[in-house]
Structure 1
Amino acid sequence: MSPTTDVAPGARPDYPQMLGHPRPLWMLFMTEFWERFAFYGMRWALTLYIVAEFFGGDPSGQAYASRTYGAYLALVYAAAVFGGYVADKVIGYQRSILVGAVVMAVGLFMIMWPSEPVFLLGLATVIVGNGLFKPNISSMVGQLYLQGDPRRDRGFTLFYMGINGGALVAPLLTGWMAAHFTDTPMQQNYKLVFLASGIGMLVSLAWFLVGRRQLKGVGRPAPDQASRARVAWVLVGCVLAAPLVYLLMAKAGAIFLQWLLTVMFVGLSLMLLVEGIREGRVQRDRVIAMLLIFAFNVLFWMFYEQAGSSFNFLAQNIVDRRMFGGWEFPVGWFQSVAPLAIVLLAPLVSIAWGLLDRRNAEPSIPRKFGLGLLFNALAFTVLMYALSSLVDAGGLIPFWPLVLVYVLQTVGELCLSPIGLSMVTKLAPVRMVGFAMGGWFLSTGIGNNLSGIFAGHVSGETGMTVASALSGFTFSFWLLVIPGALLFLVAPLINRLMHGVR
């Protein structure tokens, strides 16, 4: 356990159980539900809003919007490195989550202002707050279980349902809001979307503030970190950090940001390796295994996160969304397909892993990651088929291929993402779990920035076409299927480095 708690290392409070898991899991579940409601409620609208508000709806703005979106997501996850460090070394997990929730809420309300600099500064504020919130609530889930507890992976899968419950409800509600208020310009409707997201973040803050006593001390600051002055200094740091993040998004550009994130990842990896070496050969090998899996994680998210950029423009311009009675399926609702599939499939996946475990047949962590990459690749084969064989006279593809893409990517996500969260809590050096969780999110962030760069190429200077989409998504397939197969081949080597961790 991290030293930022007043519970003895290796011990856990005697939590009441609920549905086979510690009761605080469900409090963290709902806190994350509302934070994800806030995050995903506005995420789907970002690229569409940028084109509508700052480019007057001109398709030439798609590439800029995609790169901005990718940089935003990348910095959201990169900020988790610093958030994990703040929790480990400065103010503890609980206080980091509370401060992060407050800062995120402020940023979400800021992006309603119809000015590009204020909009980008609001996104930067969301990034800083999310960096404090996201890695630390995930780390706290791991702290509810003793090392070696077989329920830990299943607990993370259930927690992942909370993430995706919020991600499911938010686009349905905010997508309906954007489509319903038809007598106003679309960019005004998107501002209602941002307002709903800010309110959701306030609900998340209240939920954790009231429910954190259930944790019985887990995640509280260590005695030498208990001063409230430390919290004040962290808030000052947030105020200073937001303009710096703004400059990275608005001025530096996606390529510079990619180099910066790569340097950060190398530095983080070296720090984790040094700590692993200090703890001995077994911990060193486990850190190496964790970092290898982080590298494959980059590729998964590079193409999964087309959902908020190139897939959005695909849905808006190349998918036939006409339904019965002339009703048109809202673009934002596509973003609810993946979380709906996760909510439906996550319990089944959790049960399946449990049944396979009892038969000593559960896939290893590396092979679960390989499955994630291969299902993601399979999703792109659907798009390749649709864009080459199903385009109608109006230049549109049917509705169902894009829906199926989201479902297949979801299966891959369930094989990879919740397992990755659990993996970090099992493989990271005991004194740097929060920092290592930040590394997990940094690898996701690198993938997200690459996703924006890639989506910008798919759209080009004049907007997405059927030909540019087909070319780009064919490239996506090959860059997923080859590493996925490779990961299956090297899985035994990685398993040996993990020294019995499953």
Structure 2
Amino acid sequence: MPPRNPPESSGVTQTSPQNAPTTGHPRGLYVLFGTEMWERFCYYGMRALLVLYFVEHHGWQPSRASSVFKWYTSLIYLSPLLGGFLADRYLGLRPSIVAGAVFMGIGSFFLTQDALPVFYTGLVLLVIGNGFFKPNVTTLVGRMYRPGDARRDRAFTIFYMGINLGGMLGPLVCGQWLRAHYGFNYGFGATGVAMIFSLLLFVGFRKQVERDVLAAGNTLAVGALVGQESAAKRQGEMDEAKPAAKGFAPMAGRGFIMLMGVLFGALIPVYFVSQYIQGHVPLSAVFMPVAVAGIAIWMTASLLSVKGAGRDKSLVIFILFVFQLLFWMAFEQAGNSLSFWAEFNTVRKMVFFDMEAEAYQAVNGLGIVLVAPIFAWIWLRLHRVGREPSTGMKMAISMVFLALSLLAMVGAAVAENATESRVALERVPEAIDLSTFDAGRFQFDAAKRELVVRGTLPSFVVHDVLKQSADPKYVESVEAFVRESAQASPEHPASGKLQGVPAEYDPTGAIAKTKPSWDAASATLTVNEPIDPPSRTALLSEGAPAEWRNPVRELAKKSDAARVTGFWLVLSYLLATFGELCISPVGYSMVTKLAPTRFASLFMGVWLLSNSVAQYIGGSISESWGKVTPTHYFTLFVASSAVGALLLFLLVRPVRKLMHDVH
């Protein structure tokens, strides 16, 4: 799972840690543990369903589903920057958390509706709610402890376990149970119920949280720290007075920094704007590069204003920013391409039970809960003997684990691609170009008069190829009838005449859920219920000629023999989890230690932005799923992770020197 909890580093009054308790934890910690656990249940349960909902329920292609996914997840990681700012300056922590929970609860229930405008509204409400909720719950955890309290780190460890518990239960309950047995709408509904639990828990025990914050000598007042002097500020001034590390003048020099600023602040957005002007990309593709460019210019100006050792330390943040982005770009395939793989390319049977596609995403949360104590023990043992890896080394190790994780998926893809399925077919309809489907793995062997596929033939390919082979008049009349059926009921059934129906056409079996009747003589279809999205997809597929439709469906069924064991996915998720444990705990802590105090919020925002950009880039790459072979797709991420690991290993020593006395 992506990094979820920046260490609480602001909003704490500087009271003395003397006589601070060193055993036990405030009761309020467990209130926040449950509050955050249910919120993470909501997020990860919903994320596990999202792309499969669009593909399986609405009949979309993966590219379209991935486009929505990338925007949703990138904005989810961007919204806490604004939400945290508004809470600190104007709203306060408690009202922000309550408002966020309410927004997310309403948004989750909106997702139970099939109408896409309502569904999109739900996604927007979730983004807004997350912005208010996420950063402020974490801040409250920190405010329940005095500076220097030894329990503070352990408190965040407990809090982190709650997050992963929610991240494990969400996909299991929403996907493995509700989606599999009752449908997507029930799965989304469960995320709304989870937010009700989260809200009730926080509101019901908010007084306890407030008492614990006050007992630690802290406050919930808005802007409590604005203008205060601190030891951290004095340390920042001392850093800027120190000389820069010797031998690194080119890397930390003004020329190098300005070059990077021009590259990210000018050349990248110019490229995307030119691509839009030439009609190669939509306007939406320009938004993120331009936004990143603006922040890059701001970062460059800020970095140039820092001097001495302070600039060295600041530069480390921007160097490691790139590798943080590479890591989460590949890691976050879990909610996107790996969901497609689990659904369409993996055997359901796992030892003694059937495992749904969403359930694999629970492996990460379970792995964190079980393995995190082991990693913590390893780092502690190495620290005691003076061998604990530096921040840069830990991040390099994380990239190695991630490369191995995606290498496991390459192994799975090679195994899946090794199986070839064939069915007899006289000819392919003239309107169909098979080279445009399933990355060229779906072909017609003219010599043997056989339809051939390597690996599995996913349902989204079947629906698309059959729809495109239907008479356009049929497609148009079905779309019109679907709209007219919206008010259908047993008392007032809806009827419509379909045009361009193929020979031996009978749609009643495909849309039995709507209790249809078919009059072949008049080509009239009657339904007693509204035609839902899955029934619409099935009805459109029925329009293909039977001599083409039946072999395609037979081939899809036959190709299930190419599905591979789910142990590939489990191995991949576990290796990725090991990588997360090497990068997630150190990133935020590093920023709080290295950033100059006067730019602490900006640089932390930049670090958070890396997750948003990673979601956007990773989602953009996922839009090619089904257009390139799975083997090539996963190989791309193996290469990016391996190159990132190699570069980081080469930069470990320079980065360590630029960090000066910070470890």
Deviation readout 1:195-248 (Å, 9 max, x if unpaired):
3343344256437734422122255323699xxxxxxxxxxxxxxxxxxxxxxx
Deviation readout 1:53-77 (Å, 9 max, x if unpaired):
4x3x3xx521111121111110111
Q: Percent identity?
A: 33
1:45 deviates by: 0.4
Tell me, yes or no, if structure 1 residue 381 matches structure 2 residue 412.
no
SS in 2 for 1:97: helix
1:176 deviates by: 3.5
* Cα distance in 1 between the residues matched to 2:414 and 2:46: 32
- The aligned counterpart of 1:202 is 199
- C-alpha RMSD of matched pairs (Å): 3.2
Mapping 1:30-429, distance limit 5 Å: 30-53=34-57, 55=58, 57=59, 60-139=60-139, 156-179=156-179, 181-182=181-182, 186-203=183-200, 205-206=202-203, 209-213=206-210, 214-216=212-214, 217-218=218-219, 220-222=221-223, 255-267=285-297, 269-270=299-300, 273=303, 277=306, 281-323=308-350, 327-389=353-415, 391-392=418-419, 394-429=561-596
Single out whichever of 371-380 and 29-38 deviates more from structure 2. Answer: 29-38
Preserved contact between residue 41 and residue 167 of structure 2 (Cα < 8 Å): yes
Paired AA for residue 345 in structure 1: V
The gaps in structure 1 that reach 5 residues or longer are 226-250, 461-466
- CA 1:145 to 1:310, structure 2 compared with 1: closer, same or farther past 3 Å? same
* Cα distance in 2 between the residues matched to 1:470 and 1:379: 14
Deviation readout 1:152-178 (Å, 9 max, x if unpaired):
666544433222111011111222332
Paired AA for residue 259 in structure 1: P
1:491 deviates by: 1.8
- The aligned counterpart of 1:453 is 620
Preserved contact between residue 179 and residue 330 of structure 1 (Cα < 8 Å): no
1:334 deviates by: 0.6
Single out whichever of 119-128 and 23-32 deviates more from structure 2. Answer: 23-32
Deviation readout 1:46-103 (Å, 9 max, x if unpaired):
11112234x3x3xx52111112111111011112222333344444555543433333
Paired AA for residue 42 in structure 1: M
Paired AA for residue 255 in structure 1: A
Q: Kindly tell me the number of residue pairs found equivalent between the two proteins.
A: 457
1:192 deviates by: 3.0
1:443 deviates by: 0.6
* Cα distance in 2 between the residues matched to 1:191 and 1:100: 18
1:25 deviates by: 5.1
- CA 1:157 to 1:481, structure 2 compared with 1: closer, same or farther past 3 Å? farther
SS in 1 for 2:56: helix
Structure showing greater radius of gyration is 2
1:314 deviates by: 0.4
- The aligned counterpart of 1:494 is 655
* Cα distance in 1 between the residues matched to 2:207 and 2:419: 54
Give the TM-score, by structure 2 length. Answer: 0.62
Name the one with the larger helix percent: 1
The gaps in structure 2 that reach 5 residues or longer are 1-7, 227-280, 421-560
* Cα distance in 1 between the residues matched to 2:32 and 2:40: 12
1:270 deviates by: 4.3
Give the TM-score, by structure 1 length. Answer: 0.81
Paired AA for residue 380 in structure 1: L
* Cα distance in 2 between the residues matched to 1:399 and 1:145: 44
Deviation readout 1:324-383 (Å, 9 max, x if unpaired):
57x521111111001100000111112222222222211111111111111111011111
Single out whichever of 194-203 and 66-75 deviates more from structure 2. Answer: 194-203
1:450 deviates by: 1.0
* Cα distance in 1 between the residues matched to 2:224 and 2:71: 38
Preserved contact between residue 338 and residue 406 of structure 1 (Cα < 8 Å): yes
Deviation readout 1:131-158 (Å, 9 max, x if unpaired):
2332344455566677788876665444
Paired AA for residue 630 in structure 2: A
* Cα distance in 2 between the residues matched to 1:141 and 1:491: 33
Deviation readout 1:436-477 (Å, 9 max, x if unpaired):
4333221101001111111111233xxxxxx61111101110
- CA 1:147 to 1:324, structure 2 compared with 1: closer, same or farther past 3 Å? closer
